[in-house]
Structure 1
Amino acid sequence: MAARLLLSLTLLLLLPPPTLSATIAPAKPPSAAPKPPHSSAPTAPSPKSSPSPAAISSSTLDPKQLRALQSLSIPTSKDPCSPLHNSTTVCDGATPFRHLVSLKIANCSDDVALSLTALKSLSTLKDLEFLDCPISPIRFPAELAANLRSFTAVNSLKKLTGVWLSRLQNLTDLTVSHVSITASGPSIILNSIKNLRTVTVSHANLTGFLPKHWHPNLSYVDLSGNKLKGKIPPMLTELENLVFLNLSSNSLNGSIPTTFGDLTSLKNVSLSSNSLSGPIPDSLAAIPELIHLDLGSNQLNGTIPKFISDMKALKYLNLEKNNFKGVLPFNASFIKKLAVLKIGENSNLCYNHSTLSSKLKLGIAPCDKHGLPMSPPASSGAIASDSSDEDYEDDDDEPRHHSHGPSKVVLGIAITLSLIVFLIIFLVLLSKCCK
């Protein structure tokens, strides 16, 4: 009887105790931060002329202009002025024949060629767009060049020159993107077209320097993705109506003008991917409605100004890949309100780990007691580095507590074996006493 009791108790004790089993919950996947926008900003939309009430009249397009459209291989019906064609053509309400005021030529075939006769017939145009039409340009007739108010060429017209564009002297809106332009700089274009409000000349292989003088009515300037060099001219900061400025992906150097804050209407600015140096000017604090600030991939230095965290409209902030130093002046509430934050790859910049959670993927080290970056421990190096695609990660979960003693499984096995040995000895002694 004692032997059976001993065998049963031994088998029971050898089973793993249920209280020592552990379930490890899967790690919560990081929430994807909004992606920053592309380094080249969107081109300014060209204004369209709205059809007049006479657009529904029975009058048809001028026969000369109809033949001009057919010569350009533009599909036409009996009446290109009908509402069915308003994505490509817009007409006025003249009688007995109507005339084109807006024309979009897109996705050209190889056999399309501009003819002087056709362009003369289209001299009533005020808005002309070429989209994905890599055809050879010709000089526009004088009347057409004088009438145009908006001109767009995106991945179109095989080669352009600054002189060719400068003849469109009455434009208010100019967009040329992904088209190679031969010119000594943007001055020959901007100084000749004096009524410009919006200008985009991007990814155009444009060389030279930024203009020293700018027309005060400019509200949108995009000269990104070129080969412009030299400093940002101080007179650029006199454009009181400027809302959008993109000078990214050029070879600009020197410092950001101290008067940059005079651009009080500015909402979107990108100076990224240049060779700019020096500090962020204090005058930037005077721009109340700034939403998008991109100064990444430069050689800017000094400390990051605290006034940036007071910019209530700011949603996108990129200061990565510079030479900033000191303690990051942002608190958790400011970081939470941003849609995008990039501050990684500033080797002398650190954050206050007593006020900011280490779960924020900032790409910079925490500060030591002297305000200098601490070298992260080897076991947590992957957490401290910003190798993921997220701009930052914010999590309201409580931080995990890591145990540095023996694991629960090892401790449980040791306790179980001790109990088994103790009970065996006890049962052996009990059996001897019962004999």
Structure 2
Amino acid sequence: MAKIAPDPSPLLIFLLLLHHATAAMPPTSSPSAPTPSSTPTPKPPSRSSPISSSTLDPKQLRALQSLNIPTSKDPCSPSPPHSAAASCDSSAPFRHLLSLTLSNCSEDVALSLTALKSLSTLTSLSFVNCPVTPIRFPAELTSNLHSFTCINSLEKLTGVWLSRLQNVTDLTVSHVGVTASGPTIILGGMKFLHSVTLSHTNLSGYLPKHWHPNLTFVDLSANHLRGKIPISLTRLENLVHLNLSSNSLNETIPTTIGDLSSLQNLSLASNSLSGPIPESLAALPALTHLDLSSNQLNGTIPNFIRDMKKLKYLNLASNSFHGVLPFNATFIKRLEVFKVGANSNLCYNHTVLGSKVKLGIAACDKHGLPLSPPPAKNSAADDSSDGSDDDYDDDNVLEKKHHNGPSKVVLGVAIGLSAIVFLIVFLVLLSKCCK
């Protein structure tokens, strides 16, 4: 009987399955070989990175570089270079300059027309301690500028050059020589002006007869302006600050000065103004600073000044005021600065202010006249707010008067007695001779 061989199909099937399972398994990784999961995947650059969102327009960046302005940092960043402070808009993909301040410029900085054309987006431009030679600004830049500042910069400016900035609302030019026949040629075409400072510019001529009604700040101090203060200036209802000090203005203070209902600061010091203090000043309730010193003002100091509740600075020194000072100790202590010295005919009531004060004026006698001239000053600096004037003690004056009185009486009595004794001796001798 023959043997029957076993069926090999189940074993064959098992071996085939084992082979396929082994082939499907991934190869064992070497410890030194990196696996796909450990390989870093590069990320696309972020659109909001500083490189793109804070980068200045390349044309304007090149313009700054052509002006030799340091641009090692982004001019639009919060920490710009020391010699240039700037602000930019938020436009994309590149930002544009809106304001630029050039300060403490080096000798290498030079303006160019091409560079300024690229900076025509500026609405505010300032030069501080940059004595560079000015050039004519392109029309695009002058039309966009709303604020222009020039302090100890841009040598040899002219009134015509400044007059082209017709759209500015804020104009500041100080410690710069300006060649012009007067401020009118500069300000005449600036229809949107709110604030103007033209100080220490050697301007001559007269004050403008026409002023823009929107003005809130006017400073024309330390020039060579002459003539009278025009009444048109007192029609600026929005004016808060008026400084015309250190000029050659004359005649009287306009009686309509009280129409400046918003005025807080008034300085007319160091001119040649005469006449009394206008009564209309009483209509300025917001006035905190009043300086009329170093003029030729006369008359008595009006009582209404002591009723100005907000007044903190009062300087009436170096004038020709007379009469009795109408202020008490409470009013004077309320002021931060008070000066009335160098008014030789002005005196104070020592029963109101005390017998020892430091005002630079004499005490009054019973007739309201100074007892004696105020003490001589070594320098104008003696007339200061901390009361550094020489002491004037009216008690000492009265004491000297009492000492001088008895001395004269004793001397008179002695002379009289001597004359009588001499007469008696003479008569005795005469009678003996006659016998």
Given the two structures, how large is their TM-score scaled by the length of structure 2?
Answer: 0.75
Single out whichever of 106-115 and 321-330 deviates more from structure 2.
Answer: 106-115
CA distance in 2, matches of 1:234, 1:56: 58
Residues 1:84 and 2:74 aligned together:
no
Partner residue in 2 for 1:94 = 91
Q: Alignment partner of 2:352: what SS?
A: coil
**Deviation digits for residues 206-242 of structure 1, max 9, x if unmatched?**
0100001100100000000000000000010000000
1:65 aligned onto 2:60: yes
Point out the structure with max Rg over C-alpha.
2
Q: 1:24 is matched with which residue?
A: none
Is the partner of 1:308 in helix, strand or coil? helix
Aligned 8 A contact 1:232 1:257 in 2:
yes
- Where relative contact order (Cα < 8 A, 6+ residues apart) is larger, the structure is 1
CA contact (8 A) 1:134 1:158 kept: yes
Match for 1:353: what amino acid? H
Tell whether the 8 Å contact from 1:361 to 1:386 is kept in structure 2 after alignment.
no
Equivalent position of 1:160 in the other structure: 157
Deviation of residue 111 (structure 1)? 2.2
Q: Residue 290 of structure 2: which of 280, 293, 315 is its match?
A: 293
Q: Which runs of 4+ in 1 moved over 6 A?
A: 53-57, 399-404
> Is structure 2 residue 141 aligned with structure 1 residue 144?
yes
- TM-aligned CA deviation for residue 393 of structure 1: 4.1
Provide the secondary structure at the position in 2 that maps to 1:152.
strand
Partner residue, 2:331:
334
Deviation digits for residues 220-274 of structure 1, max 9, x if unmatched? 0000000000000001000000000100000000100000000010111100000
Aligned residue among 45, 68, 75 for 2:70: 75
- Alignment-derived partner of residue 115 in structure 1: 112
CA drift of 1:54 comes to 12
Q: CA RMSD for the aligned pairs?
A: 2.6
Q: In the alignment, is the contact (CA less than 8 A) between 1:55 and 1:92 conserved in 2?
A: no
The aligned amino acid for 2:153 is S
Q: Hey, what's the Cα distance between the residues in 1 that align with 2:210 and 2:49?
A: 43
CA contact 1:227–1:250 (8 Å) conserved in 2: yes
The number of residues matched between the two structures is 345
CA distance in 1, matches of 2:381, 2:242: 30
- Select 2:260's aligned residue among 260, 263, 273: 263
Aligned counterparts of 2:171 and 2:381: Cα–Cα separation in 1 = 39
2 CA distance for matches of 1:54 and 1:214? 50
- Match of residue 219, structure 1, among 216, 219, 229: 216
2:198 matched residue in structure 1: 201
Match of 2:385 in 1: 391
Distance in 1, matches of 2:278 and 2:52, equals 58
Question: Which whole-Å CA distance do the structure 1 matches of 2:111 and 2:242 have between them?
Answer: 33
- Structure 2: tracts of 5 or more residues without a match: 1-47, 401-435
Matches within 5 A, 1:304-343: 304-343=301-340
Kept in 2, the 8 Å contact 1:362–1:386? The answer is no
Does the CA-based 8 Å contact 2:53-2:93 persist in structure 1? no
Aligned pair in 2 of structure 1 residues 197, 54: CA closer, same or farther (>3 Å)? farther
Counterpart-to-counterpart distance in 2, 1:189 and 1:255? 26
SS of residue in 2 equivalent to 1:97 = coil
| Structure 1: stretches of 5+ with no match in the other structure | 1-52, 405-435
One-letter code aligned to 1:307: F
Contact 2:245-2:271 at 8 Å conserved across structures = yes
Matched, 1:134 2:134: no
Letter in 2 for 1:80: P
| TM-score (structure 1 length as normaliser) | 0.75
Deviation of 1:139 after TM superposition, in Å, equals 0.3
Distance 1:382 1:250, change over 3 A: closer
**How far did 1:189 drift?**
1.4
Tell me, in whole angstroms, the C-alpha distance in 2 between the residues paired with 1:177 and 1:282: 33
